[in-house]
Structure 1
Amino acid sequence: MRNQTPITSVLLMSLSEDQETIHVLFIFFLLIYLMTVFSNFLIILLVVTCAHLHTPMYFFLGNLAFLDMSYSSVTAPRMLFALSAQHWSITFSECKAQMFLVTYFASAEAFLLSSMSYDRYVAICRPLHYSQVMSWGTCTQMVAMVWSSAFLTPTIFTSCLRRLTFCGPNFIWNFFCDLPHLFQISCTDPTINFLVLLIVGAVLSTIVFIATFYPYVRLFRAVLRIGTSDGKSKAFSTCTSHLTVVLIFYASVTFIYFVPDTSNLLTLNRVVSVIYTLITPLLNPLIYSLRSKDLKAALQRALHIHRLHPDTATRR
Structure 2
Amino acid sequence: MNNYTDVAEFVLQGVSGNPWFQASFLVFFSIFYTMAVTGNTLIFMAISLNPSLHTPMYFFLANLALMDIACTSTVLPKMLEGLVGKGSHISYKGCLTQIFFLSWVLGAELLLLTAMAYDRYVAICRPLHYSMLMSTPVCVLLAGSVWAVSAINSSVHTGLLVRLHFCGPNQIRHFFCEIPALLLLSCSPTTLNNIMAVIADVYFGVINFLFTMVSYSFIIASILRIRSAEGKRRAFSTCSAHLVVVTLYYSTIIYAYVQPGSGSSMENSKVAALLYTAVSPTLNPLIYSLRNKDVKVALRKVFPCVC
TM-score range (shorter-chain normalised) is over 0.9
Cα distance change on mapping 1:203 and 1:82 into 2, 3 Å: same
For residues 190-229 of structure 1, the aligned pairs below 5 Å read 190-229=190-229
Q: Distance in 2 between matches of 1:60 and 1:192?
A: 34
The Cα offsets for residues 214-251 of structure 1, whole Å up to 9 and x where unpaired, read as: 21111111111111222112111110110111111111
Q: Distance in 1 between matches of 2:237 and 2:225?
A: 16
How big is the shift at 1:200?
3.3
Q: TM-score, normalised to structure 2's length?
A: 0.94
Q: Counterpart of 2:282?
A: 282
Residue identity over aligned pairs, in percent, reads 38
Is this contact kept in 1: 2:32–2:278, CA < 8 A? yes
Aligned Cα root-mean-square deviation (Å): 1.8
For residues 64-103 of structure 1, the aligned pairs below 5 Å read 64-103=64-103
How big is the shift at 1:32?
0.7
Q: Compare CA radii of gyration and give the structure with the larger one.
A: 1
Q: What's the secondary structure of 1:238's corresponding residue?
A: helix
Q: What's the secondary structure of 2:11's corresponding residue?
A: strand
What code does the residue aligned with 1:60 have?
Answer: F
Counterpart check, 1:61 vs 2:85: no
What code does the residue aligned with 1:133 have?
Answer: L
Q: Counterpart of 1:168?
A: 168
Worse overlay, 190-199 or 230-239: 190-199
Q: Counterpart of 1:136?
A: 136
Residue ranges of structure 1 left out of the alignment (5+ in a row)? 308-316
Q: Distance in 2 between matches of 1:43 and 1:145?
A: 22
Is this contact kept in 2: 1:167–1:186, CA < 8 A? yes
Q: Counterpart of 1:311?
A: none
Q: What's the secondary structure of 1:72's corresponding residue?
A: helix
Is this contact kept in 1: 2:43–2:299, CA < 8 A? no
Q: What's the secondary structure of 1:15's corresponding residue?
A: coil
Q: TM-score, normalised to structure 1's length?
A: 0.91
Is this contact kept in 2: 1:6–1:167, CA < 8 A? yes
Q: What's the secondary structure of 2:169's corresponding residue?
A: coil
Q: Counterpart of 1:234?
A: 234
Q: Distance in 2 between matches of 1:48 and 1:85?
A: 39
Q: What's the secondary structure of 1:151's corresponding residue?
A: helix
The Cα offsets for residues 270-315 of structure 1, whole Å up to 9 and x where unpaired, read as: 11111111111111111111111101122233444x69xxxxxxxx
Q: Distance in 2 between matches of 1:10 and 1:47?
A: 40
How big is the shift at 1:19?
3.0
